[in-house]
Amino acid sequence: MTKSHLKRLASPRTWPIAKKTLTFIARPFPGPHKVSHQVPITVFLRDMVKIAKTSKEVKRILHLKKCLIDGTVAHDNKRPAGLFDIVSLPEAELFYSIGINDKNKLYPISITEKESKQKISKVMNKTSLKGGKTQLNTLDGRSILVDDATKYSVGDSLIISLPDQKIIDSLPMKEGVTIVLDAGSHVGVVGTVKAIDGTTIVVKTKDNVFSTKRRYAVVIGKDKPIITL
């Protein structure tokens, strides 16, 4: 049985929190992201963007329906917000996305209201269904039905509108695209794909060229990032 509490010392290293101030911290509900790539909304609002000072203040914000995650109202203080998710507080005119840096820490990115209307999500796998339709399963737990499966491949990124979750466009994984790495020894690095060899890609940055696993890469633009980093 999953415990309802979590000690700070046992929390994922990706969480940008002080480990030794208090004993416990909120444990996020099971969500679409892996635990290391998501934080409970309490941690995001209190510890990462410091909009609230206490969990009680966070609960008040949520009770008043003032916080949205990917365009939908967040009701519970343990609701997870994960990598590339959009957290909005429209009344305060505050909009954020969540990134990961080269220290392997999740961090908030201040964005515009216009940017908060869409997000990037990576295609993790495809499933064929009856009737000739195909289901795309994404990094953030979405299952999206599409008619033309040939337009999308595993490893591509989708640009999804919020909150209706419709596909606006796609960013194919191919040579020349801009990617960010969400894991591995080069986590958080933004670069250009120079070559693809099976499960390995060659990435070029301003100062370096290296190989890494293809599954670590998330396409964020064709020739430059289309999201704020």
Q: How far apart are CA 95 and CA 87, in angstroms?
A: 6
All domains of the chain, ordered by start, with CATH?
Answer: 5-113 (3.10.290.10), 116-171 (2.40.50.740), 178-221 (2.30.30)
Question: Phi/psi at 35 (nearest 5 deg)?
Answer: -55, -40
48 DSSP assignment: I
pTM: 0.92
Residue 64 Cα to chain centre, angstroms: 25
Flag residues of the chain having pLDDT under 50: 1
Cα within 13 Å of Cα(228), Cβ side: 17
pLDDT of residue 1: 39
- Residue-level length of the chain: 229
Q: How far apart are CA 142 and CA 132, in angstroms?
A: 19
With 0-12 / 13-18 / 19 or more C-beta atoms within 10 angstroms meaning exposed / middle / buried, residue 9 is exposed
pLDDT of residue 56: 95
pLDDT of residue 4: 66
Q: How far apart are CA 1 and CA 115, in angstroms?
A: 39
pLDDT of residue 87: 98
pLDDT of residue 124: 95
pLDDT of residue 103: 95
